[in-house]
Amino acid sequence: MLRFAPSPTGDMHIGNLRAAIFNYIIAKQSNEKFLIRIEDTDVARNIEGKDKEILNLLNLFGLLWDKLVYQSDNFTHHRKLAEYLISKDLAFYCYCSKAFLESKRLEAKEQKKPFRYDPKWAELEKHSNPKPVVRIRGAKSAISFEDAIKGHVRFEADEIDSFVILKEDGIPTYNFACAVDDMLYDVSFIVRGEDHVSNTPRQILIHRALGYEKVLGYAHLPIILGESGGKMSKRDSASSVAWLLEEGFLPQAIVNYLVSIGNHTPTEVFKLKDCFEWFDIKHIAKSPVKFDMKKLRFLNREHLKALNEQEFALLLDSKDPTLGALAKLYLQEASTLNEIREKIKLLFAPKNIAQTENNESFESECKILYAHLQEMIKSHSEDLKDYESLKTALMQRTQLKGKKFFKPLRILLTGSTHGLELSELYPYLRFFLSDIVTLGSQDYSMLSQFKERD
């Protein structure tokens, strides 16, 4: 069993998604089940609805689970196992107040020593503190494990003191609930962020205390740095999976990117299912990787190029494949769906003929061209069938030429004085001429811009 264990206390980070992707790939490669475990033990910090948001995102990325569980459903098992450890003197009640422990931390800091809990303190405040916690007894010898990325990792006994496994309200701590649930669901391999490295020996200690002999595999992923080279924080928009999707990055492109970074892949562009053939967690670099927006934009463009016209149109809320074909042309100068939407929006918006280029106005020429274009559209002129015949007819009608012809024509057809060649665009624009060649200031909604056509 492979598992991804998100906490419903905040938005999904790209580091979380990367761990989910790797766990899913390994599950498919080893023909094992993929478990989603919502770790909702931090009752005070849980955000209502975040679990559903996480599940929706996983579904969107194609990370389909075989089993879904909520950690809180196992609280009874956690408490029973804690009681078992107490009965075996492998865990004990601790009545220390938070104030007492804080004073001991300050004392250790003043002495420039690492803080270590001393079991002798356990009952010092028994008569004044009616709500004890439960602590597991610390390690008596070093604990080590093999990490598929980091190699051999070892923690000395004095680094693993007696830590809390049940809080004063009876709710299990993260490490205890995590270790117990990995046992209950027979998890075999765990991929997670390197911020969990120090948790691993504690979870191994819990397994040993409970007599669980299965040796789990581990891979702790290095962090993803921001583009500036510092640790990514919530202030970095790109750290949020939801933000990337809102910006118009495709799920398959994000997967491609997250599998690629810090990794040697046989091809630059691939889909999730392709990874099942060649992915190896041992090839992931040990060092932190820097987020590269340019690379993500490149991959997103490549995945957009791979879409057919119908698929592209649907992403733009239209059923018209012609619009999809038009959108694909704009991939020459755009990389995300949002950028494409802006290009399309400009096409269908009423044209601003007062715009200038290098302080040169084409307003009068636009008005002349507009009048003739409207006449040709209303009469269904044969000259509208292709760009060359349109250009020839309009030049003859208006006597305009050169920049005084092409700039205003571009403004009327695209809303801008520069961009892709009109000869490339027109074979698709001609199907929308009555919607495109408009003047005015009214605000068209996206729905009215992307009209469905038979």
427 shares its domain with 368: yes
Q: Is residue 403 assigned to a domain? A: yes
Chain segment 80-119, per-residue pLDDT in tens: 999 999 999 999 999 999 999 999 999 999 999 999 999 9
334 shares its domain with 405: no
Predicted confidence at residue 231, as pLDDT, reads 82
432 shares its domain with 364: yes
Going by pLDDT thresholds of 50, 70 and 90, the confidence category of residue 229 is: confident
Query: Which whole number is the average pLDDT over 360-385?
Result: 96
Query: Which whole number is the average pLDDT over 361-375?
Result: 96
pLDDT at 351 over 70: yes
pLDDT at 370 over 50: yes
C-beta separation of 320 from 313 below 8 A = yes
pLDDT at 235 over 80: no
Name 190's bridge partners.
218
Of the three residues 292, 326, 348, the one that is the final residue of a domain is 348
Predicted confidence at residue 444, as pLDDT, reads 35
Of the three residues 318, 348, 378, the one that is the final residue of a domain is 348
312 shares its domain with 343: yes
Q: Is residue 344 assigned to a domain? A: yes
Q: Is residue 413 assigned to a domain? A: yes
H helix runs in 318-402, sequence order: 321-329, 337-348, 363-378, 387-398
313 CB-side CA count, 13 A: 17
C-beta separation of 335 from 301 below 8 A = yes
What is the domain extent for residue 400? 356-436
pLDDT at 233 over 50: yes
234 a known binding residue? yes
In this predicted model, which residue has the larger pLDDT, 110 or 237? 110
Query: Which whole number is the average pLDDT over 138-157?
Result: 98
Distance between CA atoms of 346 and 414, rounded to whole angstroms?
Answer: 7
Of the three residues 296, 320, 348, the one that is the final residue of a domain is 348
Q: Is residue 171 assigned to a domain? A: no
321 shares its domain with 379: no
Distance between CA atoms of 57 and 59, rounded to whole angstroms?
Answer: 5
388 shares its domain with 427: yes
**What three-state secondary structure class fits 201?**
helix
Chain segment 271-307, per-residue pLDDT in tens: 999 999 999 999 999 999 999 999 999 999 999 999 9
Going by pLDDT thresholds of 50, 70 and 90, the confidence category of residue 215 is: very high
Distance between CA atoms of 411 and 417, rounded to whole angstroms?
Answer: 5
Q: Is residue 234 assigned to a domain? A: no
Query: Which whole number is the average pLDDT over 223-232?
Result: 87
**What three-state secondary structure class fits 226?**
coil
Buried b (16+ CB within 10 A) or exposed e, 253-280: bbbbbbbbbbbebeeebbebeebeeebe
335 shares its domain with 382: no
335 shares its domain with 392: no
Predicted confidence at residue 250, as pLDDT, reads 98
Distance between CA atoms of 338 and 251, rounded to whole angstroms?
Answer: 14
Q: For CA atoms 339, 344, 350, 356, give the dihedral sign.
A: positive
Distance between CA atoms of 426 and 40, rounded to whole angstroms?
Answer: 55
C-beta separation of 215 from 235 below 8 A = no
Number of structural domains found in the chain: 2
Of 262, 269, 258, nearest to 283 by C-alpha is 262
Only one residue has tokens 């059923």, namely: 319
Query: Which whole number is the average pLDDT over 229-250?
Result: 88
411 shares its domain with 366: yes
Separation in Å, CA 108 to CA 18, 101, 162, 163, 164: 38, 11, 16, 17, 19
Distance between CA atoms of 438 and 152, rounded to whole angstroms?
Answer: 68
Query: Which whole number is the average pLDDT over 182-208?
Result: 98
In this predicted model, which residue has the larger pLDDT, 228 or 58? 58
Chain segment 314-331, per-residue pLDDT in tens: 999 999 999 999 999 999
C-beta separation of 190 from 218 below 8 A = yes
pLDDT at 419 over 90: yes
Going by pLDDT thresholds of 50, 70 and 90, the confidence category of residue 234 is: low
Predicted confidence at residue 6, as pLDDT, reads 97
Q: Is residue 8 assigned to a domain? A: no
Extract the tokens encoding 169.
């309200």
